[in-house]
C-alpha cells in the first residue's frame, strides 16, 4: 500500500526556469564583460545581459565607438534584459579582441583627465564612469573630466 505524500514540495533548484533566476550578482559589470567575451569567442550573434544603468551606459559607449552593432532593452517584468548584438568583420572575426575589467569592487581605479590611459596607443578605448555619465576616454578628454576607469576595450 502506498502512502499519499501530500503536497509536493520543491526546492528552488527544481522550479527555476533560467540559470540566473536565483543567482546573486555582486559585480554586474564583470558579468557583462565576461558574457560579451565568451559570446565573441564562440561567434554568437547576440548575448543577453541583466540590465542596469551602468551596463546600459557601457553598451551605449560600445555602440558609439563601433565595437557592437546594437543593443536593446527587453522588459521581463523584473529589472530587464539587455540584448547586445555583437559585430564581426568580413572574415567573421569579432571586432572586440580584448575586453578587460580595470576597476573592481575591491579595488577602484580613479584617474584624472591627464592620466587617462591611451589603450593600444589610441587604437582601443577605456570606458570611464564620470560625473557626466559613462563615456569613452576620448569623450572624457573632449569635455575635460576624469573618473573611474571601468574597463578597456581593444
Question: Cα separation of 136 and 150, whole Å?
Answer: 10
Dihedral of the alpha carbons of 102, 148, 64, 152, in degrees to the nearest 10: -20
pLDDT score of 25: 82
Least-confidence region, from 3-12, 37-46, 63-72: 3-12
67 with 123: CB under 8 angstroms?
no
pLDDT at 89: 96
* pLDDT of 1: 57
Domain parsing of the chain, residue ranges: 26-153
The angle subtended at Cα 86 by Cα 82 and Cα 87, nearest 5°, is: 150
Kindly indicate the confidence band of residue 126, based on its pLDDT and cuts at 50, 70 and 90: very high
| Long-range pairs of 79-83 with CB within 8 A, sequence gap ≥ 24 | 79/50, 79/51, 79/52, 80/50, 80/51, 81/48, 81/49, 81/50, 81/51, 82/32, 82/48, 82/49, 82/50, 82/51, 82/55, 82/56, 83/46, 83/47, 83/48, 83/49
26-153 fold: Ribosomal Protein S8; Chain: A, domain 1 (3.30.1370)
Name all contacts of 129-134 with Cβ < 8 Å and 24+ positions apart: 129/54, 129/57, 133/57, 134/54, 134/57, 134/58, 134/60, 134/61
- Answer whether residue 9 shows pLDDT above 90: no
Give the pLDDT confidence of 127-152 residue by residue, as tens digits: 999 999 999 999 999 999 999 999 99
Q: What is the pLDDT of residues 45-103, one digit of tens each?
A: 999 999 999 999 999 999 999 999 999 999 999 999 999 999 999 999 999 999 999 99
pLDDT at residue 14 greater than cutoff 90: no
Give the pLDDT confidence score for residue 15 in this predicted structure. Answer: 45
Q: Measured between alpha carbons, how far is 1 from 76 in angstroms, rounded to an integer? A: 46
Residue 16 pLDDT = 45
Amino acid at each position: 500500500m502506498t502512502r499519499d505524500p501530500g503536497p509536493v514540495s520543491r526546492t528552488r533548484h527544481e522550479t527555476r526556469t533560467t540559470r540566473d533566476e536565483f543567482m546573486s550578482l555582486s559585480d554586474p559589470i564583470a558579468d557583462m564583460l565576461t558574457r560579451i567575451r565568451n559570446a565573441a569567442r564562440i561567434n554568437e550573434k547576440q548575448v543577453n545581459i541583466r540590465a542596469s544603468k551602468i551596463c546600459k551606459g557601457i553598451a551605449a559607449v560600445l555602440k558609439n565607438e563601433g565595437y557592437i552593432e546594437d543593443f536593446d532593452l527587453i522588459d521581463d517584468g523584473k529589472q530587464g534584459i539587455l540584448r547586445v548584438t555583437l559585430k564581426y568583420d568580413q572574415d567573421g572575426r569579432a571586432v572586440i579582441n580584448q575586453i578587460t575589467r580595470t576597476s573592481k569592487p575591491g579595488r577602484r581605479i580613479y584617474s584624472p583627465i591627464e592620466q587617462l590611459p591611451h589603450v593600444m596607443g589610441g587604437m582601443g578605448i577605456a570606458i570611464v564612469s564620470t560625473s557626466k555619465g559613462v563615456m569613452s576616454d576620448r569623450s572624457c578628454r573632449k569635455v575635460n573630466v576624469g573618473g573611474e576607469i571601468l574597463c578597456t576595450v581593444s
